[in-house]
Chains A and B, each alone.
Chain A
Amino acid sequence: MMKSRARIAVIRFPGVNCEDETRRAVESRGMDCDIFMWNGSHERLVEYDGYVLPGGFTYQDRVRAGAIAAKDRVVDCLFDEAQAGKPIIGICNGAQILLESGMVPGITPGKVEMGLARNIMPDRDGYYTRWTHLRIESDSSCVTCVMSKGDVTSIPTAHAEGRFVTTTEGLIDRLFDNGQVVMTYAGLKGEAEPAFPYNPNGSTRGIAAVSNPSGNAVAMMPHPERAVRLAQVPESLPGRWGAERRAAAGSRRILTEPGPGGEVFKSLGAFIAERLRGKRGDA
């Protein structure tokens, strides 16, 4: 029997702090969404069509950001669901969990192949918040499947440890070749591999989001849930989204029209619909 609406679980680990707006962002794209406690029942968890690991500071960032949550039993369950092809988006701290659990990039599933290291920024350290321009490098992932490769969008980032790094030789090239690099930071005019502050953390080759080989598990540092409505876009933002925002200034439209982050959740919905169609086709 066909389900009319996709059901998404936003996982609440101890210390996450973006679960409420992430739920609203999912709901804004016509999906049902529950906040699911980390200690909830796994029988219920597997009933969902997709999962979001929201931002925050799980387990106080003890050891490393995301490191403790990655060992949580609930992540084992999510690992299996990702292997089965369900979409899983890790945002910011959620991305750190997906990398620490070896779900992403998942060349060898379960092996930790990449890390998110401390930001490297000229003349400053610690946390850095900024709206970033992003180039869409893959249009087949569960966060970009309604976008086109080469598009430039804008989504805010806010973190202290967001620099994608690896010690595995050749891995970065391989991820680009496989289409597993989903988004990269772009310059003011959309140019690739920009310097700080357009690359806000010194990430290798400007990588902002990475997926597993199938594109259904994505670790992304930018926060799309903070950009689902036009009103959330800064009026002075450069680029296409800033111009759209200014064109709508003073109008109630800004409260209802989607913002750039909305495309990410629209992709999630489309990815699930496509997957369910495929499954019915198989049957």
Chain B
Amino acid sequence: MSAVTAPSVSVIRVLGVKDDELLRRLAHAGLSFTIGEARRVAALLGRDPTVVEGNIFNTMWSEHCSYKSSREVLGEYLPTEGTGVVLGPGEDAGIVRLATVNGKSYCIAIAHESHNHPSQVVPNEGAATGIGGIVRDVYCMGADVVGVLDPLRFGDPMGENGERTREIVHGVVEGIWQYANALGVPNLGGDVYFDSSFDENCLVNVVALGLVAEDEIVRSRIPLEAKDSDYDVILVGKPTDPSGFGGATFASRILDEERALDDKYAVQVPDPFLKRMLAVATREVLKLVRDSGAVIGFKDLGAGGIACATSELGAAAGLGVRIDLSRVIVAESNLPAEVIACSETQERYCLVVPRELSPEVLRIYNEVFELPEICHGSGASVIGEVIQEARFVLEYAGATVCDASTEQITTGVCYKRESRGREPVCKEDVLPDGLDPRAVLLDVLGSVNVASREHVYRHYECEVKGCAIVRPGEADAGVIAPIPGAAVGVAVACDGNPFYGAVDSYQAGAVAVAESVRNVAAVGAHPIALTDCLNFGNPEVPEVFHDFVEAVRGIGDAARGIGLKDSGEPIPVISGNVSFYNQSSGGSAILPSPIVCCVGRLVDVSRHVTMGFKSGGNSIYLLGRRSAKLGASAVLRTVAGDATASVPEVDFDDERHMMAAVTDIAESGLAASCHDISDGGVAVAVAEMVLTSPEDSRVGARISVPRLDGSPAALAGETGPSGFAGTRESEAKRDLVLLFSEAGGYLLEVAPDDEDRLLNVLEDRGVWYSRVGTTVAGVGLSFTGIAGGDFTLSVEELARPWTDGATEAMR
């Protein structure tokens, strides 16, 4: 039955071993299997697993690699297909068509992951290898990486663990810039939130997107041509070392302070220099492959290292591989076979190429680009071959140390977790009496979750590659023109307000989609695809699993409900990642944090729109009804210290109509500026439009409280606080709600000559709108007709809290 016979190969005894003894043996072997899983491995193999096999199954069946808790839920709720989708979830990156230029179809490849636990333990290296891992996922599709984004969640910088939190912020930001800047990939956006639930478990999510011609896509599988001819397996990159051994299982359990030192060894060591050399050299290799008419398989090495990458390459094609671990270039001698097979050493790729091409591939890496000389010990070598039988065979020092069917290894396990709803949060979201609207605006602008992120994004390259059109800080989404000489643009943004998660996970998922769509639409782009990274606590806790299911349901419903512009199709979710076990050692989970990235297309990038006001005398329009529900809002957090109250519900129809109208308006060149409404509502949005106007020719605004047809503005939401009308005090509160409501919407600046055409579009698209003010050159921001009293703030008064508000937390 088994080829594993050599007496020198050590095994993990499972068969005939009692439960408590087995548990002890598993712990001794450093495996995180449950007893049931270990017995299942033995049953599948029909014998005791070798130590190497034990480690492989342990990695492949980890939550991180197998999605054993989440797979069914994702499959049930997320729309992943569509006419523009070339490749949905399943391989290293999803691929969606962008545009055809001169007869050539170009696509965007995108991947989205988390690197949360490593960043908590070793912030700099953790965040850096997060970038390193995500760009490999995109490069290995044959794409050139054209941008990265980083949604980050940190603990309370001024709280109990403030000092550690600020160290983590500094380390993470430094890790990102040190890696991505050196690699030469522009940072196109991201966001930063702070909350004490992240004190012991920060979130470092990463998105990478790449450009690839459709006929040059490389798949992460052994080509079917290998059925008829000899194919080699080539490993290229950094010499294999023990770093990151056990990384996938580390990512799949709860962090423990006492094990922090051990965990450090589970974090990989980044090398952006080698990554850049590999990217440039691989470009030459792929050109060689195309010119020779060959088909290859190409996969990055991430979680589970050689074992995971090569077995998945085989399983995807129904073929097998035989790898000789002795042929792997290693950094140190005497590494055990299981370490060579499963370590997560960074900066490595696996190629499956026709044998006659192997010498030339090796020559490009090792001689043309001199990898072994310029990056000590690195290089390319043939480590094995494709075999016809669908088996995964590893040999080491003449002995077979693993012999299993590729399907058994890669199919893995699946769990149906228990799900139980939480007690609903039923706090009344009544604002305190007697608030001064001017002071509230300054406090909200200077609050740590609203203030400018300039301190962070100025660390990041955004213009390398020469494609940048809109940089971080200039608009709601980053915009690039990635195809030289072509007018097509790509917009990208990611979102996920964690405070929604504290109240309603379904809305948290839905609003993450809605806001990322708004951000992309606000620059004038049509959404074409979504990705998600789902960050939650321990899925074995029924309430946490319920949060997860609800968030996925919210994402799915929003993707379908908003949909592609003027099409019946959902916005497809083409890639993503699930990160569980994000919680403190004390057992409290992070705020449920579904984070969504939206990619959009601008047919003509010259029609993009930025958010800074452009000139005085223009009209300012509000799109989208305000809501009386202030749950999750910045204003409630600022004035009441807590915002766990009912949240505004995303209205998918409204969002769809607004997205269509705003992109119509951009394409017709009618918008001088546009900004979506999110944290801090209309008041903060308009302040940001003032603050991002040109520094030498500032444009301010005069704003009145949003109203409709002369009557108090319609407040969406049936269960909001009542009794606004009547007393002066209640009217003042109503006006605050209108100014700070975070219900979805947009602000648009339009020149007087274009106003009629703008209104036609809004009427045609059935969008709720209200003219809320006028731009004024050279002065600050005035609010008039407010029950709580009119007020004016100079640009300097607005700038101070907004510029400084988060700086202290970020250094």
Contact = CB atoms under 8 A, between A and B. Distances in A.
Interface of A: 12, 14-15, 17-18, 20-21, 24-25, 37, 39, 55-57, 59-61, 123-124, 126-130, 156, 158, 188-189, 223, 225-226, 228, 231-232, 234-239, 242-243, 246, 249-255
A232 B466 contact: yes
A183 to B, nearest CB: 18
A244 to B, nearest CB: 12
B464 A252 contact: no
Given A127-B177, A242-B694, A255-B487, A17 B463 contact: no
B273 A18 contact: no
Given A188-B695, A231-B481, A232-B469, A14 B463 contact: no
A156 B692 CA distance: 18
Contact of B612 (A123, A129, A235, A255): A235
B696 interface: yes
B458 A128 contact: yes
Contact of A127 (B272, B374, B459): B459
Given A128-B459, A236-B692, A249-B614, 19 more contacts: A17-B184, A17-B276, A20-B466, A60-B272, A61-B182, A126-B459, A156-B463, A228-B466, A231-B469, A231-B605, A231-B606, A232-B463, A232-B466, A232-B469, A234-B471, A238-B694, A250-B606, A251-B606, A252-B606
A236 B693 contact: yes
A123 B811 contact: yes
Nearest to B692: A236
Given A18-B184, A21-B465, A123-B811, A237 B694 contact: yes
Contact of B182 (A17, A130, A254): A17
Contact of B463 (A61, A129, A255): A129
Contacts of A156: 463
A100 to B, nearest CB: 18
Nearest to A92: B464
Given A25-B466, A56-B184, A129 B459 contact: yes
Contact of B466 (A15, A21, A235, A253): A21
Interface string B350-370: 000000000000000000111
Nearest to B671: A250
Q: Which 7 A-B pairs have the closest CB atoms?
A: A17-B184, A21-B466, A238-B696, A60-B273, A250-B669, A57-B182, A226-B463
B209 to A, nearest CB: 17
24 contacts: A14-B370, A17-B183, A18-B466, A20-B465, A21-B465, A24-B484, A39-B370, A59-B273, A60-B272, A61-B182, A127-B460, A127-B461, A129-B460, A156-B463, A226-B466, A226-B468, A231-B469, A232-B469, A235-B470, A235-B612, A236-B474, A251-B606, A252-B606, A253-B606
B807 to A, nearest CB: 7
A15 B612 contact: no
A188 B693 CA distance: 14
Contact of A158 (B174, B461, B606): B461
B637 interface: no
Nearest to A125: B811
B462 A123 contact: no
Contacts of B39: none
Contact of A59 (B183, B374, B697, B811): B374
Contacts of A249: 614, 672
Contacts of B13: none
A130 to B, nearest CB: 6
A247 B466 CA distance: 22
Contact of B273 (A14, A25, A239, A255): A14
B811 A124 contact: yes
B464 A17 contact: yes
A14 B277 contact: yes
Nearest to A15: B273
Nearest to B368: A37
Contact of B807 (A123, A251, A252): A123
A61 B273 CA distance: 9
A20 B183 CA distance: 14
B633 interface: no
A223 B487 contact: no
Contacts of A252: 487, 604, 606
A188 B619 CA distance: 28
A251 B606 CA distance: 6
Nearest to B467: A21
Interface in B266-281: 271-273, 276-277, 280
Contacts of B276: 15, 17, 56-57
B273 A223 contact: no
A124 B177 CA distance: 14
Contacts of B807: 123
Contacts of A235: 470, 474, 610, 612
A239 B696 contact: yes
Interface in B163-198: 174, 177-178, 181-184
B607 interface: yes
A188 B493 CA distance: 30
B79 to A, nearest CB: 34
Contacts of B771: none
Contacts of A126: 174, 177-178, 459
Nearest to B673: A235
A255 B487 CA distance: 7
B237 to A, nearest CB: 15
